[in-house]
Amino acid sequence: MAGLLHVPLIAGAHAQTPRVSVDPYASVDWQNDTQHHGSFHNHTTESDGRMQPAEVIDAYHALGHDILALTDHNKVTWPWSAFDRDPDTLGMVAVRGNELSHHHHTLSLFSDLETDTHIHTTALLQVRETDGLSVLAHPGRYWELDEHGRVPDEVRDRYVALFTQYDNLIGMEVVNQGDRYPHDRALWDAVLTRLMPERTVWGMANDDSHGQAHIGLNTTVMMLDELDTEHVRGALEDGRFYFTTVTSHPKDQQSRAQTPTIRKITRDPDAHTISIHAQTNGEPLPDDRYRWFSAGGRVVHTGPTLDLQATEGLAKYVRAEIRGDGGTAYTQPFGLMPAQDETVTTGHRTGSDQPR
């Protein structure tokens, strides 16, 4: 697999069982919280998109999305009322922001910032000063795998430095549009291997829509007990979401209906297990559709339940990919460390180490 790294392991026959130290889903009430669909990277005719802002809003509303950011290049397309659309009437949360594009493209969310700076780090500081959140857009545009199919050390270190220095930089796109840069998942694993569990980096799949053909390829799914800007932002900060894409499949097989919906993630600290229950069209998925990845991007387990005591190769973090017949769902990473501390964090907040 591209981007594999050599890392020390903390699980196995002769090693201590790791404990989950970061659980982004610890506070989710899977029985009562509602799953909301969102899209956080979209363009309109206010920059280089081919659809009017109202058309983009209507297209996502028709899909059933209720969270939407219009992120035109270097321009905040806001408020929606300027385009004869009211998010409250539509039952949607409108996220203000834009795609800062004079450097490494970066989403600025929950912010009115428009800036002419061509210095990426200055832009990240400006987003922080306006109390916004940042997400790296399509990193794969700016780097390539080496001749061995691995993430170059200097590339990994460059991104590690950004995430280390800027706490408002919450994550990176690992799927963009029609999966133009599939090697970004190798970069994600490389960065997680260096930074987890102390520093979380959330993954995202975004449409980067410029026209109708891009809309609905990728979805952010948030579990919320209330649909408003505050709760959407909190879920982004804490990684309380999973993301899906149909672009993992050939075009003639792509299907939103056949993309997995995660119904429940259960972590049992006494049994040392993490279990995922996912469905398509209300039917459970076969066990071999679940794959778990740990440090270095290695597949360490196949099946819906991960046994932390029995699984070889665990270190630093673990995340899951669930493949349906028409698309794939991705969890956020769980942080792993040797079993000593009972405290579990949910990204930015402390949660109880109890089964959910």
Q: In the chain, how many domains are there?
A: 1
Q: Are 277 and 263 in contact (CB under 8 A)?
A: yes
Answer yes or no: is 324 within a domain: yes
Confidence of residue 321 (pLDDT cuts 50, 70, 90): very high
Predicted confidence (pLDDT) at residue 349 exceeds the cutoff of 70:
no
Q: Tell how many helices (H) and how many strands (E) occur in the chain.
A: 6, 22
Instruction: Give 300-313 pLDDT, tens digit per residue.
Output: 999 999 999 999 99
Domain of residue 166, residue span: 18-351
Reduced to 3 states (helix: H, G, I; strand: E, B; else coil), residue 202 is strand
For 196, 296, 312, the CA distances from 299, given in Å and listed in that order, are 17, 9, 10
Predicted confidence (pLDDT) at residue 234 exceeds the cutoff of 50:
yes
Cα separation, 200 vs 348, in Å, equals 9
For position 347, which CATH number holds?
3.20.20.140
Predicted confidence (pLDDT) at residue 8 exceeds the cutoff of 60:
no
Supply the pLDDT for residue 4: 47
Answer yes or no: is 1 within a domain: no
Instruction: Give 181-209 pLDDT, tens digit per residue.
Output: 999 999 999 999 999 999 999 999 999 99
Answer yes or no: is 8 within a domain: no
Mean pLDDT within 224-234 = 99
Supply the pLDDT for residue 347: 62
> What are the start-end ranges of the E strands in 23-138?
34-39, 67-69, 93-95, 97-100, 106-109, 133-136
Supply the pLDDT for residue 338: 84
Supply the pLDDT for residue 229: 99
Instruction: Give 145-193 pLDDT, tens digit per residue.
Output: 999 999 999 999 999 999 999 999 999 999 999 999 999 999 999 999 9
Answer yes or no: is 356 within a domain: no
Supply the pLDDT for residue 16: 77
| Sequence-separated (6 or more) residues with CB below 8 Å from residue 56 | 42, 43, 44, 49, 68, 70, 209, 215
Predicted confidence (pLDDT) at residue 80 exceeds the cutoff of 60:
yes
Predicted confidence (pLDDT) at residue 332 exceeds the cutoff of 60:
yes
Answer yes or no: is 3 within a domain: no
Answer yes or no: is 9 within a domain: no
Predicted confidence (pLDDT) at residue 334 exceeds the cutoff of 70:
yes
Answer yes or no: is 173 within a domain: yes
Supply the pLDDT for residue 134: 99
Instruction: Give 86-109 pLDDT, tens digit per residue.
Output: 999 999 999 999 999 999 999 999
Q: What is the pTM of this model?
A: 0.92
